[in-house]
Amino acid sequence: MASYFCPCPRGMEAALAEELGEIAQLSTTFKVHNQVPGGVHCSGTMQDAWLVNLHSRIASRVLMRMGQRSYSNENDIYDLVLEQPWEDWFGPDHTIRVDVTAVKSPLKSLEFTTLKIKDAICDRFRDQYNKRPSVNTREPDMRIVGFLDQRNFIIYLDTSGEALFKRGWREETGDAPLRENLAAGLLRVSGWKPGVPLFDPMCGSGTILVEAAQMVQGIPPGARRRFAFEQFADHDRQAWAAMKAAIKPNPLPSEPTIFGSDISGDMVAMTRHNLKVAGILFDVPLKQIEAQHVSAPTAQPGILLTNPPYGERIGVRGDSTVPQDEMALGFYSAFSTTLKQRFAGWTAYLFTADLGLPKMLRLKESRKTPFFNGALECRLFRFDMVAGFNRREGATPSKTETGQN
């Protein structure tokens, strides 16, 4: 049994813990422990780490704890790393990369700390084999991660390799693609489930749609990629192959439930291509149309979830000239009218770094959830599109107008 830490985008910790709880139902040994800012602690066997790598849509990595100790200087860190049996997991011919993150650490230089960790690993191999691993920061075989707080140091071996949001299907992206694990987290937080109509009217390269479509089809996010644990010493290739072979895809839907559109024909073509590369075998209707002109794609109300363009992406806020601001206000005013007139009964979720979005839409959000897209602070705004006039101008909206009962 080992202790693991699964980092995730900030704000997604509760969604990840819920997802890990579902994955734990596939195992008798995997246990989910506590959430902390930036991730979730859990424990289990190495095969449990395989399960999480294969099935988690929200985790960024699966880190295996090698050692933990209080420290007062870099030499304490060196000593702990030197004690770890790295040779049980990989050899001197593998390449390595070391990354360190810190919260309120008294140490002055993370770069120097990173160097001490690398030296300790290399010194251990040199002592045992008279050979040492070389460093490859771009495509390492093995990633070692150190975490420091005020008093404690933890050293991890990364079982994932490349970050888990890299699903293995993306060949090209738009200007500012949403990371796949963030899109999956937004789908979970919105309450969307396969079978519920889903519409992204500003789909870009289609990340939200691909994530949802893979969930409908039962394709695990890690089914099309490789992982660092496949290079670990004594990796059981047969057991890993059996785990992947046990995946049973879901029946294909008979009617479309996932829909997308974008103002750009190139983006629509890219989304169509990405759906195909991601292995989606059912129809996801896509249209080239401006978002303010869309209509509800189904008679049954569902969830509208989108990451609208902002900042330089749309060119409307690149500088402070009035015409560009007016363009943004004009767009959101028209989109708001479309939501009110054509999406009665739907729940609209807009994920954006523009915290003034509800004011531009002249709508009152029923909920706003903070998340981070990398270092960028964002909000997921929820708007309940009840029948009737749902607006924010003038008087304070009534409970009916805000969708509150």
**DSSP states of 104-138 as a string?**
S---S-HHHHHHHHHHHHHHHHHHHHS--PEE-SS
Asked if 255 contacts 284 with a C-beta cutoff of 8 angstroms, the reply is: no
Please tell me the distance from the alpha carbon of residue 365 to that of residue 384, in angstroms, as a whole number.
Answer: 8
pLDDT digits (tens, 9 = 90+) for 7-35: 999 999 999 999 999 999 999 999 999 99
Encode pLDDT of 117-170 as tens digits.
Answer: 999 999 999 999 999 999 999 999 999 999 999 999 999 999 999 999 999 898
Mean pLDDT (the chain) is: 91
CA distances for 25 relative to 19, 30, 157, 218, angstroms? 10, 8, 25, 16
Ranges of beta strands (E only) in 37-119 are 39-44, 63-70, 95-102
Neighbours of 266 (CB within 10 A): 11
pTM beyond 0.85: yes
pLDDT at 393 > cutoff 80: no
226-251 pLDDT, tens digit each = 999 999 999 999 999 999 999 999 99
Do 383 and 363 touch, CB atoms closer than 8 A? yes
| 318 has a pLDDT exceeding 60 | no
CA distance 205 to 48: 32
Task: Please give the CATH topology (third level) of the domain spanning 2-158.
Answer: VC0802-like (3.30.2130)
How many of the other CB atoms lie within 10 Å of CB of 40? 27
Domain range annotation of the chain: 2-158, 180-221+249-385
Find the length of the chain. Answer: 405
The pLDDT confidence band at residue 175, using thresholds 50, 70 and 90, is low
The residues, ordered by sequence, that sit 6+ positions from 277 with a Cβ below 8 Å of its Cβ are 169, 170, 171
Angle (nearest 5°) at CA 206 between 244 and 22:
40
Per-residue pLDDT, 310: 59
Q: Is the pLDDT of residue 305 over 50?
A: yes
Alpha carbon distance 16, 312 (integer Å): 31
Give residue for tokens 């008679």. 299
How do residues 319-365 score in pLDDT, each as one tens digit?
444 455 677 888 999 999 999 999 999 999 999 998 889 999 999 99
Phi, psi (deg, nearest 5) at residue 132: -135, 150
What is the topology classification, in CATH, of domain 180-221+249-385?
A: Rossmann fold (3.40.50)
Domains 2-158 and 180-221+249-385 share a fold: no
The residue behind tokens 């959430």 is: 35
pLDDT at 364: 93
Query: Residue 202's closest CA among 97, 27, 351, 402?
Result: 351
Which residue type sits at 346?
W
Is the CB of residue 39 less than 8 Å from the CB of residue 77? no
pLDDT score at 404: 43
Residues β-bridged to residue 7: 39
Within 10 angstroms of residue 213's Cβ, the number of other Cβ atoms is 26
Task: Tell me how crowded residue 3 is: count the other CB atoms within 10 A of its CB.
Answer: 17
Q: What are 363's two structure tokens?
A: 């709508």
Task: Find the radius of gyration of the CA atoms of the chain.
Answer: 24
Q: Is the pLDDT of residue 395 over 70?
A: no
Q: Which of 238, 237, 235, 236 is nearest to 91 (CA)?
A: 235
What pLDDT shows up at residue 225? 95
Chain position carrying tokens 């770094």: 353
